[in-house]
Chain A
Amino acid sequence: MSGLLTVLEKMHAARTGYARPLRRFRHHHLVDEPLVIVPLKLAGEAAAPLGCAVGTDPDEPVLLTVPQPRNRDLQHAFFTDLAHVVLGYVAARQGETEEVVPRGGEPRLRYADAPQILVPNRPALDHLGLTGRLTRFQETEDDVPLLGRWLTFFADRAEYPGSSLALALTDLLTAQWATGQSDLEDANLAMLLAWICPPEGTTGAAAAQVAENPLDFPPAGPATDPDFDGLVLQPAVQGYDRAVDAGDPVAAARAEAKVREAVTSQLMPTWRLMWKGLRRLRELPEAAGCEQRWAADRDRFTRHVDRIAEGGPPQPRHDHAVAAAARLATLERAQSRFEAQQAVDDPFVLAELRTTGEAFGGTVVAGEPDRTEVTAKGRTVLRPRLTVRTEDPVRVDDDQAYVCPDRPKQNVRIREIAEDESGCLLVLDVVSGMGTVKKPVPIPEPGETVRYTRVPPQWGGQDFPAPEETPWTHGGPPPGSEEPQGAEQ
C-alpha cells in the first residue's frame, strides 16, 4: 500500500528519526524453523554462484563458497552441496499429514508443515529463480536437477501475493514499517534495519547513514561490492587460478581458503541481519488470515511433492502466451484478495484504504432494522438499512459488497450517497447476515462508529495454478521470440 497514510508515516519517521509502524499485525506466516539463504553471485555473470550462507540455525550457517566461480565443475560441486541442505530441509517437512475435506469435493491429504525460504531481498529471490532455471534441466544423476525444480518452485511462489513459502526480508520489513528514506534505500537491508532497530543510543536515521558504508556493511547481495571485487576477491581468485595452473594442491587449498575467507566476510554481516530482522518480525502478532493462506501454501507444497514423486517433468522453460496471461490474472486476483483480507484483519490497513476511498468509516445516524423488501419472486425479505455519516472520500462501486471487521458475517452495499454541509451521508443496505424477518440479527445502532471494507473474494479452485501449469517467468515477450522485449522507457 502506498496511500497518504503511508506517506504521512514516512514524514513522521523523517521527523522523529525512527521507523513508524504501518500495520498492527504481520500478514505473513513465519515458521519456527525457516531456511535462511544469503546467496552471492559473481559480477557480470547471469547466475555464477560465488557463495552462500544457508541454514536454520543462526549460530551455525552452512557456508558454501566457490574458489573460481566461472569453473563449471566447481559450480556443480557448489550446487551439489546446496542441494544437500535444501533438499534435506524440504524432506524434513514431509512428515505429518492432515486430511482436508473441501465442501463438495474429494477429501485429500496435505502436509501439516511446509518449507519456508527466507532471503535478504527481491534480487536474491530472482537469483534463486535463475539458479533454478540453470540447474533443473541439467542431466546429471545427482540431486542438482531436483534442487533446480525446488528453487524454481520457491521463486515461483514468491511472486504470489500472500504466499509465505519464499520471502524476501526487505519486503516483510517495508510492509510493516515506514522509514524516513526512499524506497531505493529501503531496498538496502542494512539501512532498512537500521531505521527499524537502531543500536542503543542512536536514532534510526543516524544508524542508516552509518549502515550505508559498504565496507562496514557489505551489500546483502546477490551482487557484491565492486570495491570488494577489485581489492579483495579478484586477487584471491587469481591466486587460486595460479596455484591450480602450477599443479600445486597445497597452494590451491590455501588459496581456496583465502577466497572462502573473503566471501565469508561479505556473507556473515548479512546473515546476522537476517536473524535480527526475523527476531523483530516474530515479535509481531500474526494476522488472522495467515492460517488460511498458509494452508494454501501447504496444499501447493504437497502438490509439488506429489508431482515430483509421480515422475513429472521439470517446470517448462517458457510461459505460453495464454498461460502467461492467465498467470498474470491469477496474480492480480491473489493481490486483490490479499489486500482485502489484510484490511479486514488489520485496522492500519483499513485506515489506509479509507484515504483512497476503497474503505470507509463513520457514525451511524439512522437505522431501519425492520425494513423489508419484496423480491422479484414476490417473497418478503428483511433488508435493513442504515445511514452513516462519513468524512471519507468514498468511491462508490455499486457491485461491491462491504464488510465491517467487527461483524464479519454481515455484508452491506452502498445504496445512495448524499452530500450535506458537514460531509456525506451513505445509505447502506444490509444484504447478508441480517437474519430473517422472524429472527433478525442486530445491525449497528445510531450513534455507533462503524468501518467497512471490501469483502475479500472467495478462494477459488483455479486461483493458484501449479507452477507446472503456468511456469516461472520474469514476465516478458511471448515465447518463441529470441529477442528481449523492446526497450520502451
Chain B
Amino acid sequence: MDSLNTRLAALRGGTSPVGFSARTIAGLNENPGCARRALLDASGADKDRIGARVGFPGRFGQSPFALARGRVFEEQIKANGAAQLLRLLREKLGLTIEEAAYLPLEDVGDNTGRELRARHTTAQLLRAAREGDDAGTLFDHPMLRLRVAGCTAYLEPDLVAFQVGGRFHVVEIKSFAVIDGQVDGEQVTAAARQAAVYVLALRELLADHGLDPETVSHEVLLVTPADFTNRPVVSLIDVRKQLAAVRRVLARMSRVETLLDALPEGVSFDLAPDDDGDPTRDPAELAAALHQIPARYRPGCRAHCELAAFCRDEARCADSLDVFGPAVGGMLGGVDTVCAALGLAEGTRAPAEDEAEIARALRHAETLRSGLG
C-alpha cells in the first residue's frame, strides 16, 4: 500500500493532495471508464488548477444564493435541537419524540481535527449500535472514513438518524423544492449517489468492528422544502442501485495500480508551485502528461469534471465521435471518428470486416441525403 501511495504522490508532485468528498466519489461514478480521472483523483491532483494551467479553466462555481439557501434551510431544520426534523422523523420512522436525542458531533473539545472527530464519531456510533437501545438519536455532523485507492477519505453526512428499531438511517438535507410531490429527477439522483457513499462508509465502520453492516438502512431520508415554502418534507429513497455503483467504482479505484503500471516512466502532474503557491510547470509539458493517460470524454463530463474543456478539445482534435455524446457513438458502433464515418458513408473508405453492416447503413443514408438536393 505504501509503495502505491508513494507512486501516487509522485504523480501529483509537490502540491498538497485534494481529498475525496462524497461528491467527488459519487462523481467518479459519472464516468467510471475514464482512467485519466481515476488516476488524477486517486493521486489527489488538483484537477481544477491543472485544467487552468493547461489553458482550459473550468467553471465550477456555485451561486452564493444557492449556497445561502442551502445553509439557511439546514439551519432551520436543525434549530432547537433539530426540533422540526425530529417531528418529521417521528412521523416517517416511528420515533417517539420524548425519547429521541440530538447529539452534535462537530466539536471534540478544542480539537476539531478530522481524524480525532472520526474517532469520536466511531465511538459514539458503536456505542449506540451495541446498546441497541430504543431511544432514537440524531447524530449531527458525524465524521466518517472511507478507503479510496488506498487513501482515507473523510466524509461528513448531514445527519445520521438512529431509529427505534435499531437501524441507522442517513439523512440528507437538500434545499431543492418538492412541488406537488414532484421533484427534479437529476437532483434526487445526485443526492442519492452522495447518500450511498455515506451508507457505505457507515456500513464499513460497523463491519470493521464486528457488527452487522446491514443495520445501516439502504433507505435514505431526504429532507427537502415543499411547495415554494420552507416547510420540510421527508422522503424515503432506496439507494441500493447507487450503492452497487459506488462499490464498483471503489473496487476499480483499489486497482488503480494497474492504471499506474500502464503509464510511461516519468509522467507527472506536478504543478511545481513556487513560494506563493503559483504553478510554474510548463503548460505544454503538463498537457502532454495528461494526454498520456487515456480518457473517455463525453459531453456530460462538464457537469462533474474540471477537465471537461481540456478533454473535449482533445476529442475534437482527434476528430472523435465522443464530442457528440455516447448515443451517436452507439449508433455508429465501432466507428470512432467523423472522418471514418463520412468515409464509409461516401464510399471513400473500405469498411473493416466488423464495419460491413454500419457501412451499408451509412451509405444508404448518404444516398438518401444526396437525393434530397
Partners in one complex: yes
A residues at B contact (CB < 8 Å): 2-5, 7-12, 14-15, 24, 42-47, 130, 133-134, 180-185, 214, 224, 226-227, 229-230, 233-234, 317-318, 347-348, 351, 354-355, 391-393, 473-477, 479-489
> Which 10 pairs across A and B sit closest by C-beta, in order of nearness?
A483-B235, A44-B69, A44-B66, A43-B63, A484-B183, A487-B192, A476-B182, A46-B177, A182-B299, A229-B63
Specify which chain A residues have a CB less than 8 angstroms from the CB of B66 in the assembled complex: 43-44, 226
Of the candidates B63, B177, B183, B369, the one whose C-beta lies within 8 Å of that of A226 is B63
Interface members, chain B 337-367 (any A CB < 8 Å) = 338-339, 341-342, 345, 361-362, 364-367
Specify which chain A residues have a CB less than 8 angstroms from the CB of B87 in the assembled complex: none
Known: A4-B361, A4-B365, A8-B365. A488 touches B183 (CB 8 A): no
Interface members, chain B 40-81 (any A CB < 8 Å) = 59, 61-70
Judge whether A183 and B299 touch: CB under 8 Å: yes
Specify which chain B residues have a CB less than 8 angstroms from the CB of A2 in the assembled complex: 327
Interface members, chain B 146-194 (any A CB < 8 Å) = 175-183, 185, 188-189, 191-192
Expressed in whole angstroms, the minimum distance between the Cβ of B353 and any Cβ of chain A is 21
CA gap between A44 and B224 in the complex, in Å? 12
27 contacts between A and B (CB under 8 A): A2-B327, A7-B324, A7-B328, A7-B332, A8-B342, A8-B366, A9-B369, A11-B338, A15-B339, A43-B63, A44-B68, A46-B177, A184-B300, A184-B302, A224-B63, A227-B59, A230-B61, A351-B371, A351-B372, A392-B364, A393-B364, A476-B183, A479-B181, A483-B235, A484-B237, A485-B185, A487-B237
Judge whether A354 and B338 touch: CB under 8 Å: no
Specify which chain B residues have a CB less than 8 angstroms from the CB of A233 in the assembled complex: 65
Q: Which residue of B lies closest to A69 (CB)?
A: B65
CA gap between A43 and B68 in the complex, in Å? 10
Known: A5-B369, A44-B68, A347-B372. A318 touches B299 (CB 8 A): no
CA gap between A355 and B366 in the complex, in Å? 10
Judge whether A481 and B237 touch: CB under 8 Å: no
Judge whether A46 and B342 touch: CB under 8 Å: no
CA gap between A479 and B239 in the complex, in Å? 23
Judge whether A14 and B180 touch: CB under 8 Å: no
Expressed in whole angstroms, the minimum distance between the Cβ of B272 and any Cβ of chain A is 28
CA gap between A184 and B369 in the complex, in Å? 25
Expressed in whole angstroms, the minimum distance between the Cβ of B232 and any Cβ of chain A is 11
Interface size class of B (residues with CB under 8 A): 35 or more
CA gap between A37 and B16 in the complex, in Å? 48
Specify which chain B residues have a CB less than 8 angstroms from the CB of A133 in the assembled complex: 179-180
B233 at the interface (CB under 8 A from A): yes
Expressed in whole angstroms, the minimum distance between the Cβ of B305 and any Cβ of chain A is 14
Known: A7-B328, A8-B362, A484-B235. A351 touches B369 (CB 8 A): yes
Expressed in whole angstroms, the minimum distance between the Cβ of B19 and any Cβ of chain A is 23
Judge whether B64 and A348 touch: CB under 8 Å: no
CA gap between A392 and B191 in the complex, in Å? 46
Specify which chain B residues have a CB less than 8 angstroms from the CB of A45 in the assembled complex: 65, 69, 177
CA gap between A355 and B364 in the complex, in Å? 7
Specify which chain A residues have a CB less than 8 angstroms from the CB of B183 in the assembled complex: 476, 484-485
Judge whether A473 and B182 touch: CB under 8 Å: yes
CA gap between A252 and B327 in the complex, in Å? 52
Known: A182-B324, A476-B182. A355 touches B361 (CB 8 A): yes
B22 at the interface (CB under 8 A from A): no
Judge whether A44 and B175 touch: CB under 8 Å: yes
CA gap between A318 and B341 in the complex, in Å? 48
CA gap between A355 and B365 in the complex, in Å? 6
Of the candidates A4, A15, A476, the one whose C-beta lies within 8 Å of that of B331 is A4
Specify which chain A residues have a CB less than 8 angstroms from the CB of B235 in the assembled complex: 482-484
B236 at the interface (CB under 8 A from A): yes
Q: Which residue of A lies closest to B331 (CB)?
A: A7
Known: A181-B323, A355-B361, A489-B245. A234 touches B64 (CB 8 A): yes
Judge whether A4 and B239 touch: CB under 8 Å: no
Specify which chain A residues have a CB less than 8 angstroms from the CB of B177 in the assembled complex: 45-46
Specify which chain A residues have a CB less than 8 angstroms from the CB of B238 in the assembled complex: 486-487
B317 at the interface (CB under 8 A from A): no
Of the listed residues B178, B180, B367, the one surrounded by the most CB atoms of chain A closer than 10 A to its CB is B180
Specify which chain A residues have a CB less than 8 angstroms from the CB of B70 in the assembled complex: 44
CA gap between A393 and B222 in the complex, in Å? 49
Judge whether B180 and A183 touch: CB under 8 Å: no
Expressed in whole angstroms, the minimum distance between the Cβ of B139 and any Cβ of chain A is 23
CA gap between A480 and B345 in the complex, in Å? 53
Judge whether A391 and B342 touch: CB under 8 Å: no
Specify which chain B residues have a CB less than 8 angstroms from the CB of A479 in the assembled complex: 180-181
CA gap between A2 and B327 in the complex, in Å? 10
Judge whether B181 and A42 touch: CB under 8 Å: no
Of the listed residues B324, B327, B367, the one surrounded by the most CB atoms of chain A closer than 10 A to its CB is B324
Beta-carbon contacts of B225-248 to A below 8 Å, as 1s and 0s?
A: 110100001111111011001000
B368 at the interface (CB under 8 A from A): yes
Specify which chain A residues have a CB less than 8 angstroms from the CB of B225 in the assembled complex: 46
B325 at the interface (CB under 8 A from A): yes
Specify which chain A residues have a CB less than 8 angstroms from the CB of B241 in the assembled complex: 488-489
CA gap between A197 and B242 in the complex, in Å? 43
